[in-house]
Amino acid sequence: MPLPEAFRDRLTAILPPECFAACWQSFAAEQPTAFRANLLKGPADALGAELSAAGFALTPLAWKADAFVVPAAQRRALTECAAYRQGRIYIQNPSSMVPPLVLAPQVGERILDLGAAPGSKTLQLAELMGNQGSIWAVESVRGRFFRLRDNLARHGAENVQTHLADGTRFWRKHGEQFDRVLLDAPCSSEGRFRADAPKTWRYWSQKKIREASRKQQRLAYAAVQCLKPGGVLVYSTCTFAPEENEAIISRLLRQFASALTIEDIALPFANVASGLRQWRGKAFAAQVQRAKRILPAGGMEGFFVCRLRKTGM
């Protein structure tokens, strides 16, 4: 396995011992292609019938009725089919579909997506809200912002305002304005490493983890400041690094003292572990164990997700 040895050493310390071998092997295994039906453009059952008739070997996700997987060999054909061209499907790893479900936006609410590009979760939020209410999608990188805007338009998300802005400063003008905030934070992307794709891990280093953590701290602080008292924040990443996950949440709990609490979440699949209690001799707040780590299995990438409630200010 050509992945960095330092990454392997860290992973052995992060994962439950009984889970390491399967996780490590997943980086080299051929993965199926997962996608969601875009419910803003039609029902999932009709789309499934259409794709099955076209020869796609669809397997529905057991825990999400509007999502499917096809064999890796059919990925290219999927991206060339009419449903894809027309924005009726969205290719997305199943783990990435989880944070919007945990956020559970309600019709009529004002939602903030603080790191929105390329728009997969923003679009999913719009679907969950039936294109009602208001979603503010923030992206700071100009090229990614325009990709976000194009994606939302092509897929029919009509209740989204896009903002080209620095997410770490967004709270200064928009403090306590949002019922719910999703922060799928930019990260070291360890969950997406592929042994046969060096570009996915070539620039990984522990220095990069520290750099990502510093930005995540600022974004997480801004996310809490943007949230109304009583509101919900979901923080997620696609990395294993505790510095980018449990450490960020533990720091938030210290910064906001009694104004934040972590809520228990129940995920509808078995490949889940609780948040770490400590890392490299540093203890985290006990509540952090309520966060969830999604372990690689069945085509799902490694992910971290935590749901917090703002109880005051």
User: What's residue 1's pLDDT?
Assistant: 80
Q: What is the 3-state secondary structure (H, E, C) of the chain?
A: CCCCHHHHHHHHHHCCHHHHHHHHHHCCCCCCEEEEECHHHCCHHHHHHHHHHCCCCCEEECCEEEEEEECHHHHHHHHHCHHHHCCCEEECCHHHHHHHHHHCCCCCCEEEECCCCCCHHHHHHHHHCCCCCEEEEEECCHHHHHHHHHHHHHCCCCCEEEEECCHHHCHHHHCCCEEEEEEECCCCCHHHCCCCCHHHCCCCCHHHHHHHHHHHHHHHHHHHHHEEEEEEEEEEECCCCHHHCHHHHHHHHHHCHHHEEEECCCCCCCCEEECCCEECCEECCHHHHHCEEECCECCECCEEEEEEEECCC
Choose the catalytic residue: 23, 226, 238, 306. 238
Identify residue 8 by its one-letter amino acid code. Answer: R
Fold (topology level) of 5-30+93-310: Rossmann fold (3.40.50)
Q: Which residues contact 120 (CB under 8 A, 6 or more apart)?
A: 90, 92, 96, 151
Can you tell me the distance from the alpha carbon of 268 to that of 258, in angstroms, rounded to the nearest whole number? 30
Question: In which residue ranges of the chain is pLDDT below 70?
Answer: 313
User: What's residue 313's pLDDT?
Assistant: 66
pTM: 0.97
User: What's residue 42's pLDDT?
Assistant: 95
Delimit the domains of the chain by residue range: 5-30+93-310, 32-91
Under CATH, domain 32-91 is a member of which superfamily? Answer: Sun protein; domain 3 (3.30.70.1170)
User: What's residue 258's pLDDT?
Assistant: 86
Active-site residue, 81 included: no
User: What's residue 114's pLDDT?
Assistant: 96
Reported as a single tens digit per residue, the pLDDT across 94-146 is: 999 999 999 999 999 999 999 999 999 999 999 999 999 999 999 999 999 99
Query: 240 is written with which tokens?
Result: 């294993």
